Structures are given as C-alpha cells and as structure tokens.
C-alpha cells in the first residue's frame, strides 16, 4: 500500500471515530441502536441513518418487531411513526407498553390497515393485571401514511393519556377507589411490531392482505422516553428539567378536555362503554364516570 493511500485511510478512520464519539455524546433520545432490541423478524427490522430511523417490514413469511432495552415504571413515551402506505389491508402495526407474564399490564396503540383510500383504524386498549376488554377505536384526521406523526402514551399514578400529535384522544383514569384495577406495580417495556392479521383486522377480516404488494413497511423515528427506570428498589427518573417532569402529575386542562371532546365526537368509531350488546348485565364501573 502506498503511503498516501495509508494516510487517506487513517484520515477516514479518524473522521469516522470522531463522528461516533459525537453521536454517542449527543443522542440518547432517538438512537435505535442504543435503545431497542429486535424481537422477531431478523433483518426485516432495519436500523438506518446512523440509528435515527427504524423500519419494520412484513413479507409473506413473517413480520418484525422491536422492544426497548429498558423497563419503565411510569413515564411519557413519544414516538414518530409513518404507517404502511397504499393497500395496507390485513396488516397491523402496533406500538404499546407491556409488562410480562399472564397477569400483565398493557397500554396499546394498534393501527389496523385498510384497502387503498379507506381509513386506518386506530385501536386502543388498557390491560390491568391481565384483563383488557376496554377498547376504543378511532379514525384519524389525517393520512398516517403520508408523513410522520407523533403517538404518545402518558402514564402516571393518576391516569393514562393517549395522544396523537399532542392531542389527547383517550384518558383512562385511576379509579381504584371504585374497584377498577390500574396498572401501577409492574414495569413495562416499549414494544412495536408489524404483522399479518388478515383473519380479523380489516373490515372484520373480509379484506385480506394482498401479498403482491409485499414487503409492507412502517417507519419510526425520535423514540423518546421521559420515564422512570424500573430499578432494583427505588426507581430513577430519566427526566431532569422541570418541564420534563410535567408528565408526572399531568391532567387535562380545559383546552385539553375540549380537544378530547372534539376527537371523541368526530373520530371515535367504537367505544366499549357504549356497546350495550357486549355488556347486557351493565357496563364496567369506569364507564359510569363521565370523562368531561
């Protein structure tokens, strides 16, 4: 090797390692290399753009998924997602918090795909101690496949709030005082997956996945956890500034309640609390508490 070639290589190497150092110092938020593990699908989950972008892919054989390396006990989790474009019928993209085991807690966003031109359904649910059955579903006020939008879960000791682009779409209050179990003891990880569910997902399973369109791709960026790490005895909260800690007592103010009402009146397509056929003996106790 000529000496000038060796020098060039040395120069390139030092530029690369310098970049790596800068990245490590500045990016804990949004670095998928550092913050997540692929749970299934192997190379169908791809980390790109130096850790800033992640794509999940679904082909005829398998989908893919990831989860956070860390476990949290309360927090505010934000992620930006761009959903499978075009004919996404039969596909489901999930983003949720979950603990482990049979009596697990879970806070769900699930995006049910649709045929081209028909709206995605955003399905939400809350499980406490293994029991869910608290579904609310929404259509969105934008096309979630055209660009990235922010989906957030706020989870404190008083309530769980689901946000889309910082607009509250659902609140699940801590109503332990009237006997409704609330998730508060089991640490949760952040999970996401893209998989085939064409036996039920789209128009009740009538519209099947069109494999000629595969692979299907959903994209993620800016995963941010302002959250308390589940520690051995006492938990440590990642947030340091006062602003970062706002989630710990956050409730909806008048403006927030107004926006929630707007979403629930205009975009909610299913609410377990108004499904009389399903609860002939009477609604679960949390349904009796008016939200507004």
Q: Which helix (H) or strand (E) holds 159?
A: strand 159-164
121 binds ligand NAG (CB under 6 A): yes
Compare residues 112 and 126 and give the one whose CB is closer to ligand NAG: 112
94 binds ligand NAG (CB under 6 A): no
- Which of these is catalytic: 100, 110, 176, 286? 110
136 binds ligand NAG (CB under 6 A): no
Contact 76, 244 (CB under 8 A): no
Pick the piece of the chain touching ligand NAG (CB under 6 A) from 64-72, 197-205, 208-216, 283-291.
197-205
Identify the bridge partners of residue 93 per DSSP, sorted by sequence position. Answer: 111, 194
28 binds ligand NAG (CB under 6 A): no
Could you give the C-alpha distances from 192 to 94, 153, 274, in angstroms and in order? Answer: 5, 13, 29
Compare residues 92 and 161 and give the one whose CB is closer to ligand NAG: 92
Compare residues 201 and 260 and give the one whose CB is closer to ligand NAG: 201
- Which of these is catalytic: 106, 135, 176, 286? 106
CA–CA dist 180, 175 (Å, integer): 5
36 binds ligand NAG (CB under 6 A): no
| DSSP string for 59-121 | -SS--EEEEESS-EEEEEEEEEEEPPPS--TTEEEEEEEE--STT--EEEEEEE--STTSPPE
Instruction: Say whether 286 is catalytic.
Output: no
- Please count the residues of this chain forming the interface with ligand NAG, following the rule CB under 6 A: 9
Could you give the C-alpha distances from 259 to 100, 249, 252, 286, in angstroms and in order? Answer: 33, 19, 10, 21
35 binds ligand NAG (CB under 6 A): no
Compare residues 140 and 180 and give the one whose CB is closer to ligand NAG: 140
- Active-site residues, by number, are 106, 110
Binding site for ligand NAG (CB under 6 A): 112, 114, 118-119, 121, 201-203, 269
């Amino acid at each position: 090797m000529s000496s000038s070639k060796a020098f060039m290589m040395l120069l390139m190497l030092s530029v690369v390692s310098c970049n790596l150092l800068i990245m490590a110092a500045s990016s804990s938020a949004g670095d998928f290399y550092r913050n997540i593990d692929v749970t299934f699908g192997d190379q169908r989950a791809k980390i790109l753009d130096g850790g800033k972008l992640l794509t999940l892919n679904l082909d005829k054989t398998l989908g893919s998924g990831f989860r956070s390396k860390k476990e949290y006990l309360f927090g505010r989790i934000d992620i930006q997602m761009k959903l499978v474009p075009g004919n996404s019928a039969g596909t489901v993209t999930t983003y949720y918090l979950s603990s482990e085991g049979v009596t697990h807690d879970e806070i769900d966003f699930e995006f049910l795909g649709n045929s081209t031109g028909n709206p995605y359904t955003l399905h939400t649910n809350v499980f406490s101690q293994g029991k869910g059955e608290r579904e609310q579903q929404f259509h969105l006020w934008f096309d979630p496949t055209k660009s990235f939008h922010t989906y957030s879960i706020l989870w404190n000791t008083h309530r769980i709030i689901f946000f889309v682009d910082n607009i509250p779409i659902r609140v699940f209050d801590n109503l332990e005082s009237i006997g409704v179990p609330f998730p508060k003891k089991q640490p949760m990880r952040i999970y996401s997956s893209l998989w085939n569910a064409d036996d039920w997902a789209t128009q009740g399973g009538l519209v099947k996945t069109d494999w000629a369109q595969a692979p299907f791709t959903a994209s993620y960026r800016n995963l941010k956890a302002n959250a308390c790490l589940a520690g051995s005895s006492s938990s440590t909260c990642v947030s340091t500034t006062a602003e970062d800690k706002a989630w710990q007592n956050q409730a909806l103010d008048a403006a927030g309640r107004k926006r929630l009402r707007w979403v629930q009146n205009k975009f909610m397509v299913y609410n377990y609390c108004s499904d009389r056929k399903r609860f002939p003996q009477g609604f679960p106790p949390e349904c009796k508490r008016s939200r507004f």
